[in-house]
């Protein structure tokens, strides 16, 4: 198993500074990937509206953000190349991303997808329990029902608690596993265990980082997902440097073995 280091809040701050530096060093890659992710979020919302399911817009948007770690794989590769002084080009970045299709990182995509499906099913279940099997003519009508009725407020409270648990679970499983699989030839089970160990070893800084990510993503989603164009690449680059602080370098693990 990879050796996991204990980190502090200062390490998270240093990783954030390094992430900002990477974004400034190669902005075109971060902005492009961030824009692609933002367009995907808008597509999810518009699809819900087109299917007369506007009441699912908010949970669908929140669930869509859960795939952020997978979308950030290209950003991890940019940071890795910047740290090692390697050439950066679209062919190199996309080549690395494409190469993951037959590796363990593809299985992590299924883990993320499974949790996203769980997210949407629990939303529908809670809707049925508290608001009944009925549809709403508009998102405004749905919002009014949520904030003006006891059933709606209970749905919001329990829904956010369940969502927070699923989000924390996904964060613990993926915060380290995606960059680890990109850099090392490990199986995805080992990667997830290492990721959970990193969170358990340094719970305060890691969970604190999870709250920061959540708050930034919520604010970024407000203006039609446009904020994600900048915040997603910064968060992605930062996560790579946080991974490098949490997990010993491959050569160190090899020396230990």
For residue range 62-116, what is the model confidence (pLDDT) as tens digits?
Answer: 656 656 666 788 899 999 999 988 988 888 888 877 777 767 777 887 787 788 7
Q: What is the pLDDT of residues 126-171, one digit of tens each?
A: 888 887 766 666 667 777 888 888 888 888 889 888 888 888 898 9
Residue 36 maps to a domain? yes
- Our count of domains for the chain comes to 1
Residue 171 maps to a domain? yes
Residue 4 maps to a domain? no
3-class DSSP assignment, residue 247? strand
Q: Give me the domain span that covers residue 24.
A: 9-256
Residue 3 maps to a domain? no
User: For residue 204, with 0-12 CB atoms within 10 Å meaning exposed, 13-18 middle and 19 or more buried, which class applies?
Assistant: exposed
3-class DSSP assignment, residue 4? strand
Residue 43 maps to a domain? yes
CA gap 173, 118 in Å, rounded:
15
CA gap 61, 63 in Å, rounded:
5
Residue 176 maps to a domain? yes
pTM, 2 dp = 0.80
Q: Which of 220-256 are b and which e, b meaning 16 or more Cβ less than 10 Å from the residue's Cβ?
A: bbeeebbbbbbbbbbbbbbbbbbbbbbbeeeeeeeee
- Candidates 169, 165, 160; CA nearest to 218 is 160
- Candidates 19, 17, 10; CA nearest to 240 is 19
Which residue's entry shows tokens 């790579």?
A: 240
Residue 188 maps to a domain? yes
CA gap 57, 75 in Å, rounded:
27
């Amino acid at each position: 198993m990879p050796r996991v280091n204990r980190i502090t809040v200062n390490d998270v701050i240093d990783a954030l500074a390094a992430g900002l530096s990477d974004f400034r060093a190669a902005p075109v890659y971060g902005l492009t990937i961030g824009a692609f992710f933002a367009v995907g979020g808008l597509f999810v919302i518009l699809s819900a509206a087109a299917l007369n399911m506007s009441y699912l817009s908010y949970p669908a948007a929140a669930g869509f953000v859960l795939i952020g770690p997978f979308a950030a794989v290209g950003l991890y590769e940019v940071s890795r190349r910047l740290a090692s002084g390697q050439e950066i080009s679209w062919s190199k970045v996309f080549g690395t991303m494409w190469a993951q299709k037959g590796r363990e990182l593809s299985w992590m995509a299924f883990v993320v997808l499974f949790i996203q499906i769980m997210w949407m099913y629990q939303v529908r279940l809670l809707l049925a329990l508290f608001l009944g099997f009925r549809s709403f003519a508009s998102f405004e009508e749905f919002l009014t029902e949520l904030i003006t009725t006891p059933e709606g407020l209970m749905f919001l409270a329990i829904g956010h608690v369940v969502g927070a648990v699923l989000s924390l679970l996904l964060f613990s499983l993926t915060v380290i596993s995606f960059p680890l699989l990109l850099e090392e030839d490990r199986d995805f089970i080992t990667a997830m265990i290492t990721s959970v160990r990193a969170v358990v070893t340094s719970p305060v800084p890691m969970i604190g980082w999870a709250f920061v990510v959540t708050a930034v993503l919520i604010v970024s989603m407000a203006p039609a997902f446009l904020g994600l164009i900048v915040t997603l690449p910064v968060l992605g680059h930062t996560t790579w440097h946080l991974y490098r602080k949490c997990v010993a370098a491959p050569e160190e693990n090899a020396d230990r073995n």
